[in-house]
Amino acid sequence: MLPQDVSPSISAVQSLLEGPDDGQPALAALIENLDPAEVRQAWLRSDPVARGRFIDLVREYSRTRIQRFGSYTADLLSQQIQMFGWSIGEKTYGRPLILEPSLGRLTIGRYCSLADPSIILGNHTVRTPSTYPFMTLWFDWPGTAVGGIDHVARDVVIGNDVWIGHQAIILPGARIGDGCVIGAGTIVSGTIPPYSICVGNPGRVRSTRFAPEVVEFLLKVRWWDWPDALVDRFIPLLIGADMHPFIEAVLKDAEVLGLYGLAPEPS
């Protein structure tokens, strides 16, 4: 339900739209101090000519908010991506710490939420008499000229729409499926099935987020591969508390079904 009296918000929005070109500080104050419903209603009742500028300001504000989380990961790690051949999907945000970056390949899907996990792409070998990294510290050890091994490389794969909590550790060789939730401080190894909730040390799958048939549906639909405009149109359902309206809408939507060469069923 929208507020009855939003005249103060209308005035604030109108002043913002008529103000200087750099309206970011005013917009931040407006959004952070007013109820979102008030802001939306005030915008709807403001000058239609200025609404386009308001939308631009909100989009820029959203990018600023993302930067508080550490910006989009592909931008932050662009040099390493180019250097080591990693793949990090669009819209994934956060600032992971990558250990032994030159040893393995890192693959992260789209729309992932990364707090500040540590992702390890290599380990000291345990198959030699010593685990000390003589080869890495070769400048102190002329004997390393004969060759040897002190690290083992293993790739890490993280799927799409994965949420990894604060200070989780992703060990070499881990495979995290689409839609997983990794709890804060969890140590992840091995394969985590899609849409699992994994917590603890060692990390264990405690539950699955949805029933098997729902997981199967989500993996077929792969909403994270949709065009941005289509994702935006489905946002009210993507963040809704009930999965069934989303499923029903997908099965009836010609644009979505067209992505898979299908047509909506006749009503």
Are both 142 and 177 inside the same structural domain?
A: yes
Are both 162 and 127 inside the same structural domain?
A: yes
Categorize the per-residue pLDDT at 68 as very low, low, confident or very high, splitting at 50, 70 and 90: very low
Please indicate, yes or no, if residue 201 is contained in any of the structural domains. Answer: yes
Are both 57 and 97 inside the same structural domain?
A: no
Please indicate, yes or no, if residue 16 is contained in any of the structural domains. Answer: yes
Q: In the 3-class helix/strand/coil scheme, how is the chain assigned residue by residue?
A: CCCCCCHHHHHHHHHHHCCCCCCHHHHHHHHHHCCHHHHHHHHHCCCHHHHHHHHHHHHHHHHHHHHHCCCEHHHHCHHHHHHHCCEECCCCECCCEEECCCCCCEEECCCCEECCCEEECEEECCCCCCCCCCCCCHHHCHHHHHCCCCEEECCEEECCCCEECCCCEECCCCEECCCCEECCCCEECCEECCCEEEECCCCEEEEECCCHHHHHHHHHHCHHHCCHHHHHHHHHHHCCCCHHHHHHHHHHCHHHHHHCCCCCCCC
- Predicted pLDDT of residue 2: 38
Q: Which residue has the higher pLDDT, 46 or 183?
A: 183
* Active-site residue, 124 included: yes
pLDDT digits (tens, 9 = 90+) for 140-152: 888 877 777 878 8
Mean pLDDT for the stretch of residues 24-52: 55
pLDDT digits (tens, 9 = 90+) for 169-182: 999 999 999 999 99
- Predicted pLDDT of residue 51: 54
Please indicate, yes or no, if residue 235 is contained in any of the structural domains. Answer: no
Domain stop point among 209, 227, 252: 209
Q: Which residue has the higher pLDDT, 111 or 133?
A: 111
Query: Does residue 225 have a pLDDT over 80?
Result: yes
Are both 117 and 182 inside the same structural domain?
A: yes
Are both 100 and 136 inside the same structural domain?
A: yes
Q: In this structure, what token pair is assigned to residue 260? A: 């898979």
Are both 196 and 108 inside the same structural domain?
A: yes
Query: Does residue 53 have a pLDDT over 80?
Result: no
Taking alpha carbons only, the member of 166, 202, 174, 168 closest to residue 105 is 174
Query: Does residue 36 have a pLDDT over 60?
Result: no
Are both 194 and 96 inside the same structural domain?
A: yes
Please indicate, yes or no, if residue 245 is contained in any of the structural domains. Answer: no
- Predicted pLDDT of residue 133: 84
Please indicate, yes or no, if residue 228 is contained in any of the structural domains. Answer: no
Phi (first) and psi of residue 25, to 5 degrees: -60, -40
Please indicate, yes or no, if residue 262 is contained in any of the structural domains. Answer: no
Are both 111 and 188 inside the same structural domain?
A: yes
Categorize the per-residue pLDDT at 3 as very low, low, confident or very high, splitting at 50, 70 and 90: very low
pLDDT digits (tens, 9 = 90+) for 78-131: 999 999 999 999 999 999 999 999 889 999 999 999 998 999 999 888 888 888
- Predicted pLDDT of residue 146: 78
C-alpha separations of 259 from 120, 222, 253, 267 in Å: 36, 11, 10, 20
- Predicted pLDDT of residue 26: 57
Please indicate, yes or no, if residue 130 is contained in any of the structural domains. Answer: yes
Containing domain of residue 127, as a range?
87-209
Are both 36 and 125 inside the same structural domain?
A: no
Question: Exposed/middle/buried for 265, CB within 10 Å: 0-12, 13-18, 19+?
Answer: exposed
Are both 59 and 95 inside the same structural domain?
A: no
Q: What's the structural domain count of the chain?
A: 2
| Averaged pLDDT score across all residues of the chain | 82
Q: What is the pTM of this model?
A: 0.73
Q: In this structure, what token pair is assigned to residue 154? A: 């293993």
Please indicate, yes or no, if residue 26 is contained in any of the structural domains. Answer: yes
Out of 124, 151, 166, 244, which one is annotated catalytic? 124
Are both 182 and 120 inside the same structural domain?
A: yes
Determine the Cα–Cα distance for residues 196 and 182; give it in Å rounded to an integer.
8
Percent of the chain surpassing pLDDT 90: 53
* Among 60-64, 159-163, 247-251, 257-261, the range of highest mean pLDDT: 159-163
- Predicted pLDDT of residue 181: 98
CATH number for 177: 2.160.10.10
Determine the Cα–Cα distance for residues 151 and 52; give it in Å rounded to an integer.
55
- Predicted pLDDT of residue 185: 96
Beta pairing, strands 163-164 & 122-124:
unpaired
Mean pLDDT for the stretch of residues 187-215: 97
Determine the Cα–Cα distance for residues 133 and 148; give it in Å rounded to an integer.
10
